[in-house]
Structure 1
Amino acid sequence: MRQQSTPPLLRLPPKIRKRIYFFDLPREIRLEILRYTITGPSNDSIPDARTIRVLNGKFDNRYPLTDFHPLELFLISRQMYLDASEIFYSEFQFHFQGHFSKTLSVLDKMPVQLLKRLRRITFDLDAQKILLWEQPPVHARSQWRELISFLGKYCNPSNMLISITARDCGASAMRLSEEDRKDIRRHDYNAYVDIVRTVKELLPDLRDFHLSFSIFWKLETVLEKFVMGPDYDSSHGNRYPKPRNTKWENSIAPKYLTEIPAWHTDVQEL
């Protein structure tokens, strides 16, 4: 009959054995254990498992985190909260959608030391926001500038990826004349350029920058390079590569969706 071996620690005399508690471990080891525990192994079947979605200033409960991540760890002690928060804020992507003022309110409530840990933020700009980009009484444009200014002041842009998904107003213009649709597309273009110009001005040390437009697809690369520099390639990134958009690879789309508009000037003149 096969004999089971005794673990080496149990073979030691009782006086020599030593119980090591989690918080007695070196900080680097604690963080590695927490990183695996909180994030878990990568799972391609759950692409958003490491994404925190915030809609109009409230965490979107349509994507519950507790199904995949043991968030009870944050409640154990203050030290555990600090260690776990460091992993949580640096490893998860925060996806914001809705009013810029409410997004800013969420960020403003975060402790400054944790804002410095943020690594990946996505802003999802819907068609309504693009349509009302410069419309009174509240200009989305000025709120966007305030939001990006906050990131530059309190976060650490040199370690951050900013991703922007911007819709177009084309769906609302289907019943308009061709001339009016051209005006709508020009409005979309102006909003896109303004969004990007603000990022370039207020986040000069940004680590990575990804764009996803629903119109003028080839403009994405041009504006990414405008912000990051002429040698920047978002498909590789400085740290965070941009996922391939396979949705359009085999599609036959009209030129107004794919091409850079004729009125686009030299990027350095933006």
Structure 2
Amino acid sequence: MSNSHDWQDFPAPAKLNLFLHIVGRRSDGYHLLQSVFQLIDLADTISLRINEDGAIQHLNPLPGVPAESDLTVRAARLLQKETGCSKGVDIRVEKRLPMGGGVGGGSSDAATVMLALNRLWQLNMPRSRLMELGLSLGADVPFFIFGESAFVEGIGEIMTPVATPDVDFVVLHPQVHVSTPQIFSDPDLTRNTPPIKVPHLSSATTQNDLEYVACKNHPEIRENITWLSQYANARMTGSGSCVFASFSSPNEANRVIYDLPKNMTGYVARSLSKHPLHEFAEF
């Protein structure tokens, strides 16, 4: 590695929910879910520069997001507080992942900061502890620290690694911002999908239980799903707004993007079997 006081770049990849079932609800109101989280190579870039004075600064915060509340800053401060590390870091984020798209952008940025600083600050924290800390920042953060495709259960904290096929995805981003709390509180939400077991994933009939409510509130999502469904089985990821379909080759996926109407936004992404920073923490 170069001099640790130079800027260094680290990827923060997106995830897709290959399906998302709501299988029940806890007494505290949290929904119980089952999903397969799939990493893809569409990513933000996190640039970090270590300093010796302990200051943590975000040098290009998003408009309207105070640096103090930015997940990358909170992730760095959390690690610093937990370990007593005297070093600091300057942070820059190059955003490519859509905000409020259901692809985990902010959570992935936070996880990449934690994984990268675990190495750059020489903290050597085990992955399991980083995942515990990450959970206090957001429900999806532990998955990105876990760092491989997983069957996810509970409220998102129980993960079992699963092998998923290498495929190319077309990901479309309807230009709407979906309120996750609003979807989960909607009376029309399905909350009793029968649970499935890991070995039976391939034979299970799956869907995204949040899709109906999201499309009801945001017709643009339905419009994107309908258009993409001409080419392959399309569905929404997370609580939206992004929708996706898988293809067996980059050429197929690129042909679909070539046909994309002018009023739609889309990307081609490849599945990842492991997070690029997976080796930055040990179990």
TM superposition score normalised by structure 1: 0.26
More strand by share: 2
Higher Rg: 1
TM superposition score normalised by structure 2: 0.25
More helix by share: 1
